Amino acid sequence: MGFPKNFLWGGATAANQYEGGYLSGGKEPSTLDAITGGSHTTSRKITYKTKEGKIESVTREKSLPTGAIGYIDPEQYYPSHVATDFYHHYKEDIALFAEMGFKCFRLSINWSRICPKGTDKVNEEGLAFYDAVFDELLKYNIEPVVTINHFDIPMYLADELDGWSNRKVIDYFLFFCETIFKRYKDKVKYWMTFNEINFLRSWTQIGIHDSSLQGKYQAAHHLFVASAKVVKLGHQINSDFQIGMMVAYIPSYPMSCRPEDVMESVQFNREQEFYIDVQVKGYYPAHKLKQFEREGVVIKKEAGDDELIKEGTVDYIGFSYYMSTVSSANPDKVKFVGGNQMPAVKNPYLEESDWGWGVDPLGLRISLSKLYDRYNIPLFVVENGFGAVDTVESDGAIIDDYRIDYFKKHVAAMKDAIDLDGVDLIGYTPWGCIDLVSAGTGEMKKRYGFIYVDLDDHGQGTLKRSRKKSFNWYKQVIATNGEKLENN
């Protein structure tokens, strides 16, 4: 009973939010390096140069106008450029992860560190950096879990090729994957392809300029083909590789038992499950094909794409779980709360974080059950956590009981899913196990970590690391393999 013996307890990060060193060691900019800080989702801007050479900016979710290219303005502050500086602190940070007892650590590889322009030129210094990181992890018996692509694309590919709109990017991506698979095949076993593939729809994440339905789904098709090719290639290079997909899972409940509300929630959930269907079952679900017909979306495919997608299905489902939402057939009657990539509807039975994310531990068990019932392959909770403002006391202590409370309930929910529902869950990597830059808002004050990093929203701070109260709590959870959740 309880968590399996070899359960992968750990933590999760992403290069652009954690690494910094954005031009160090031969790296060139990625699209994400052109996003400014902000105080909330909509105040994060992308800076760019128009076709006519004018410098402009647009909110992060929007795509750039046709012909525009990314531009880094020396007058602006860009949080990814230094982030919380894993680039220079990896030894110290990994030692702290080891002290917590991590069995695994999830990080992403910065594409433009390995292939600075995204093309077939390799940067040895970039490869050497991740070698050093993996060696450091393995020294403590911490299994690296690698997200191959977490929301980034080399800016050159976005500017010159229109990013994932262009089929050629599949080949460049494959070259990048072949390079890292061959280099790290004896150091890394767990991989996942695209972080939150269901959220990839804008210039910053996939370098596209056309974010209409047609543009978004054509790019998604290229991502699916790329993922399938990567899975096949990875298994050829090392048959022990476990290669997963990654989806942001936000289950939606019907606002009431009114059938119209239920249908809305079916449709909402389907939109996320569509991405899992393609990568796990290996084909486009019927409802999506009907939607394409209805909306006049025509996906350009090449001969063999369907077979490839069928053959390159993934080994496990990785997903992020932060919150649930609610669907209603009368959206004008509901109250919207924070949300992030999408406005979330207020659930009267739940409380929200300061950023409006509805805290719902049972929703995690519901998600695990649904996903396991539906797909029957191993699951990996690769993100979960509570973004909050932390206060440093005069003696330096950070008493984050609210975070401990959040985790306690979510770990208990996973345990129920294992014990009561029979879910095959292989690991848990809480998001931002060390403080890093928020993807949604660019803030530092929205913190997730067990480890505090001294840095503010304007890039000021010493970058000094310190243990929060939750550090010792999580250490105890790992030491008891999820049995002792009480906070003492």
Would you say 109 or 309 has its CB closer to ligand P53? 109
Comparing every residue's Cβ against ligand P53, the nearest one is 440
Query: 112: closest CA among 34, 184, 36?
Result: 34
Q: What type of residue is 138?
A: L
* Residues 398, 427: Cα–Cα separation, whole Å: 27
In the complex, least distance from residue 341 CB atom to ligand P53, rounded to whole angstroms: 4
CB nearer to ligand P53: pick between 200 and 308:
200
What one-character-per-residue DSSP string does 135-191 give?
HHHHHTTPEEEEEEESS--BHHHHHHH-GGGSTHHHHHHHHHHHHHHHHHTTT--EE
Shortest Å distance, C-beta 13 to ligand P53:
9
Across 129-158, b (16+ Cβ under 10 Å) vs e yields bbeebbebbeeeebbbbbbbbbbbbbbbbb
Query: What minimum distance in Å lies between the beta carbon of 417 and ligand P53?
Result: 20
Strand ranges across the sheet with 55-59: 55-59, 45-49, 69-70
Spatial separation of the C-alpha atoms in residues 72 and 70, rounded to whole Å: 7
Choose between 234 and 387: whose C-beta lies nearer to ligand P53.
387
Residue 136 falls in the annotated catalytic set? no
- In Å, how far from its chain's centre is CA 444? 17
Hey, what amino acid is at 142? I
Least distance to ligand P53 from the beta carbon of 15, Å?
10
Which residue, 18 or 284, is less far from ligand P53 as judged by CB?
18
Tokens of 236: 């050829």
Handedness of CA 192, 197, 198, 204 (dihedral sign): positive
Shortest distance in whole angstroms from residue 84 CB to ligand P53: 12
Token pair for 82: 């230094």
For 333, residues 6+ apart whose C-beta sits below 8 A from its C-beta are none
Contacts with ligand P53, residue ranges (CB under 6 A)? 14, 17, 195-196, 248, 320, 322, 340-341, 383, 387, 431, 438-441, 446
3-state secondary structure of 231: helix
Helix (H) or strand (E) holding 383: strand 379-383
Q: Which is nearer to ligand P53, 13 or 47 (CB)?
A: 13
Smallest separation (angstroms) from ligand P53 to the CB of 339: 7
Element (H, E) at 471: helix 469-479
- Active-site residue identified among 19, 136, 273, 383: 383
CB of 357 to ligand P53, least distance (A): 8
Question: Pairing mode, if any, of strands 190-194 and 104-108?
Answer: unpaired
Residue reference for tokens 């919150």 = 323
Calculate the alpha carbon distances from 158 to 112, 174, 304 in Å.
Answer: 12, 16, 26
Distance CA 127, CA 109 (A): 10
CB of 410 to ligand P53, least distance (A): 14
Q: Show which residues are catalytic.
A: 383
